[in-house]
Structure formats: C-alpha cells, structure tokens
C-alpha cells in the first residue's frame, strides 16, 4: 500500500539523516581550531555562562578560518531548552516581547541568519520493543556558514 511505501521511505530518510548528523557532531572530524568543549559554569544551562560572548568568539573563529561569518546555528533540543531558560537571554527580551523565546529570537540575539532546533528522534538499530526513541542531537550547538 502507499502508506507502507511511505513508512519505509521515511525510515530510509531517517537513517540517512542520522548518518549526516553523526558526521556533523563527531568532534574527531574537526581540528582544535574548529571546536570548543564548554564545561562547568560555562555550560549554557548554568547561572552565568556568558552565552553571547561564547557565540561571538566562535563566530570570529569561523570568520578567521573561512573568511565568512556563520549564518546558521543548529542546536540540540536540550540546548534550546537551556537557552530559553537562560536569564541572560530572557533579560534581553523582557521589555520587547512577552512571547516565549523562539529560534527566530535567538537568531536575532546572536546575529545569525537562522537558528534551527533539531527535534528529530530515532530508534537505534539495537533497540528493543520497549526502548524509547532517542534525540538525534544532544548537548550540541553547531555554527556554520551554509551557502544560500
């Protein structure tokens, strides 16, 4: 049936997407100048992480390496939740909007064309019938220049 074919195609698409995500977030694919491990109080779910300073420094590092500023940021769902709960970011918008923090607001705050929160889930090949799905992205924010 058509629905069965669509379901199989969706599974193939999801597997390909997972392969691409694994390439993207594998820190072994980047040299020391192209990755930052954020630890301790600098993590974005902590009280005073200076998020915009970290993102600005990363943007400058990308510009120094490529000649272009990054125009895209992909963030894991748990990172998006941490940013939405961040006092630093909430303070920036408290007088201009009563809305919840959105990816568009984050793009404006970081001066990046687009911020995307990855929300896709997958079921690992080794999963049993009772295992839950797993987020494709976890504890990661990726800045990149992507040609339009």
CA distance 80 to 139: 10
Pull the structure tokens for residue 44: 């974005």
pLDDT at 126: 85
pLDDT tens digit string along 29-51? Answer: 777 777 777 777 777 877 677 89
Tokens read off for 88: 């630093």
**C-alpha closest to that of 85 among 138, 43, 40, 133:** 43
* pLDDT score of 80 more than 90: yes
Q: What pTM, to 2 d.p., does this model score?
A: 0.79
The C-alpha atoms of residue 139 and residue 74 are separated, in whole angstroms, by: 11
d(CA 142, CA 26): 11
Neighbours of 122 (CB within 10 A): 16
At 1, the pLDDT band (50, 70, 90 cuts) reads: low
Helix (H) or strand (E) holding 7: helix 2-25
pLDDT tens, position by position, 102-134: 999 999 999 999 999 988 887 777 888 888 888
């Amino acid at each position: 049936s058509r629905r069965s074919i669509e379901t199989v195609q969706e599974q193939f698409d999801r597997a390909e997407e997972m392969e691409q995500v694994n390439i993207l977030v594998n820190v072994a694919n980047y040299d020391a100048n192209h990755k930052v491990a954020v630890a301790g109080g600098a993590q974005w779910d902590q009280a005073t992480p200076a998020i915009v300073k970290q993102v600005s420094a990363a943007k400058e590092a990308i510009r120094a390496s490529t000649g272009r500023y990054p125009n895209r940021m992909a963030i894991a769902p748990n990172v998006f939740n941490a940013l939405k709960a961040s006092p630093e970011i909430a303070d920036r918008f408290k007088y201009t909007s009563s809305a919840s923090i959105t990816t568009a607001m984050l793009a404006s705050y970081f001066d990046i064309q687009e911020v995307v929160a990855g929300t896709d889930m997958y079921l690992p090949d080794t999963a049993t019938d009772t295992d839950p799905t797993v987020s494709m992205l976890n504890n990661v924010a990726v800045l990149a220049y992507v040609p339009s």
